[in-house]
Amino acid sequence: MRYKDLFIDFDDTLYDTHGNAVIALKETFEVFHLERYFEDPNVFYDAYWAANIDLWSRYSKGEIDRPYLIVERFRRPLSLGVGLEVTEPLCLEMSDVFLDFCSSKPGVIDGAHELMDYLRSRGYRMHMTSNGFHEVQYKKLAACGLRDYFDTIILSEDAGVNKPSPQYFDYALKVSGADRQTTLMIGDNLNTDVIGALNAGINAMLVNRWDVKKEDIPQNVTFVVNGLRDIALIL
């Protein structure tokens, strides 16, 4: 099949969200002098990542809202600090600083710019699809130099629902003007990107960055690649 439109996930598919956030979290730890409360910084870091994974999973399912996610992902790790009074204003202040650090980072996944150049040369219309927060995503796009590749930016906050909801993909098709039959979703998250698109009747490619086992990948996934450079062999 010759695809015309590509829905491309942004965070951890093109943009090195995790790698950039690791740096930003360390910077945030230092700004707030959390060494006063954590003898071992890894106690804070590990608790943050555990909370972040859990909360984003719940957010994508619509179980929690954005304000809860923002506060809770810092409240949990901070609560492990010795002698630290954890308040909502503190969590919100830390979130603002952390997101500023995150969104200024230019790091992308290996091969991202080369892939986007290739896809543009092939004439695909490309649309960024993301559950990320509006103001943060546009800053990230500017920082990493990927904004101009996209014909449309489709964020869940604008759609009113998150991936993997079929309503999100219906909204994306409407906003982009893409046809369901000639659109391919590309993303690193098996559930939100790939299964979500398939459930909406859109073909999907898993960029298997997280080494999902073959037996855990549904047989109806259209394509599976190990990295961005493999995509050019298919499209």
Contact of 91 with 74, CB cutoff 8 Å: yes
Same structural domain, 150 and 194: yes
Q: Residue 184 corresponds to which amino acid?
A: L
Its domain, for residue 174, covers 5-16+107-233
User: Which of 103, 119, 142 corresponds to the end of one domain?
Assistant: 103
User: What are residue 126's DSSP bridge partners?
Assistant: 6
Same structural domain, 52 and 164: no
For the chain of 235 residues, list the mean pLDDT of each consecutive stretch of 10.
Answer: 94 97 97 97 97 94 94 98 96 97 96 98 97 93 97 96 96 98 97 97 97 95 97 96
Same structural domain, 28 and 87: yes
Same structural domain, 139 and 224: yes
Same structural domain, 94 and 62: yes
Same structural domain, 124 and 224: yes
Q: What is the CA radius of gyration of the chain?
A: 18
Same structural domain, 129 and 201: yes
Same structural domain, 36 and 90: yes
The domain total for the chain is: 2
User: Which of 50, 82, 103 corresponds to the end of one domain?
Assistant: 103
pLDDT at 118: 98
Quote the CA–CA distance of 214 and 208 in Å, as a whole number: 10
Instruction: Find out whether the peptide bond into 164 is cis, omega within 30 degrees of 0.
Output: yes
If 0-12 CB within 10 Å is exposed, 13-18 middle and 19+ buried, where does residue 163 land? Answer: buried
* Chain-centre distance for alpha carbon 109: 12
Token pair recorded at residue 164: 């993997």
Same structural domain, 179 and 66: no
Same structural domain, 59 and 70: yes
Same structural domain, 222 and 212: yes
Residue 222's domain is classified under what CATH number? 3.40.50.1000
pLDDT at 212: 95
Q: Which of 33, 76, 87, 30 is nearest to 53 (CA)?
A: 76
Same structural domain, 93 and 132: no
Strand order in the sheet with 125-130: 152-155, 125-130, 5-9, 183-187, 203-207, 223-225
